[in-house]
């Protein structure tokens, strides 16, 4: 049982490292489940974030700027929650919760990028993340550098998560170390 939690400042390479580790383990036949939340840019400007199921590729808006709502081309269910200039979208919950269902196989890796304010502002998704972390045998997660959710922090402490701060200096050699750690945890 092992959780590797990546953190660090924005733009340092956490997501690149996350995908590098996930792809390597996927090549070895390990089932990957969970989600990632890429930013969406239009004409070079960030207009929001999506949530994407790592298994199925299914996606939904997680958060969007008000000015882009009419242009996004789909009907979305907005919440009254705001994170900075973004409005959180309720549609993300169903995609995220489905993505967190553990597959029925011997070797499975929970992978989440990221556990942060937007994801945690949706109550059912937050609960799904908590349950997935509790039930995961092995996981790699990216956590927001200012994560303050006490329940999630408690799970990470209880499961003795390996907290790794990604920097420009260490990001290039962490991949092999993390892959080795996760293999041992399976």
Q: Token pair of 61, please? A: 């808006």
Sort strands 31-36 and 39-42 into parallel, antiparallel or unpaired: unpaired
24: which residues sit within 8 A by CB, 6+ positions away?
175, 179
Task: CATH number of the domain at 32, please.
Answer: 3.40.50.300
Q: What tens-digit pLDDT sequence spans the chain (186 residues)?
A: 899 999 999 999 999 999 999 999 999 999 999 999 999 999 999 999 999 999 999 999 999 998 887 776 666 777 788 899 999 999 999 999 999 999 988 889 999 999 999 999 999 999 999 999 999 999 999 999 999 999 999 999 999 999 999 999 999 999 999 999 999 888
What pLDDT, on a 0 to 100 scale, did the predictor assign at position 75? 64
Q: Please count the structural domains in the chain.
A: 1
Structural domain that includes position 150 = 2-185
Total-model pTM: 0.94
> Taking Cα atoms as reference points, which of 53, 54, 125 lies closest to residue 88?
125
């Amino acid at each position: 049982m092992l959780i590797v939690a990546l953190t660090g400042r924005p733009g340092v390479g956490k997501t690149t490292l996350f995908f590098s580790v996930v792809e390597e383990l996927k090549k070895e036949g390990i089932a990957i489940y969970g989600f990632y939340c890429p930013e969406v840019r239009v004409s070079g400007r960030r207009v929001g974030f999506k949530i994407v199921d790592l298994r199925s590729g299914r996606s939904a808006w997680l958060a969007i700027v008000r000015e882009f709502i009419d242009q996004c081309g789909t009907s979305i269910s907005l919440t009254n929650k705001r994170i900075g200039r973004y409005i959180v979208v309720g549609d993300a919950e169903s995609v995220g919760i489905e993505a967190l269902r553990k597959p029925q196989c011997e070797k499975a890796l929970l992978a989440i990028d990221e556990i942060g304010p937007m994801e945690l502002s949706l109550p059912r998704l937050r609960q799904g993340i908590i349950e997935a972390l509790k039930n995961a045998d092995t996981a790699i997660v990216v956590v927001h550098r200012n994560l303050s959710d006490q329940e999630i922090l408690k799970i990470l402490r209880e499961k003795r998560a390996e907290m790794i701060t990604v920097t420009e200096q260490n990001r290039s050699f962490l991949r092999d170390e993390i892959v080795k750690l996760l293999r041992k945890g399976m």
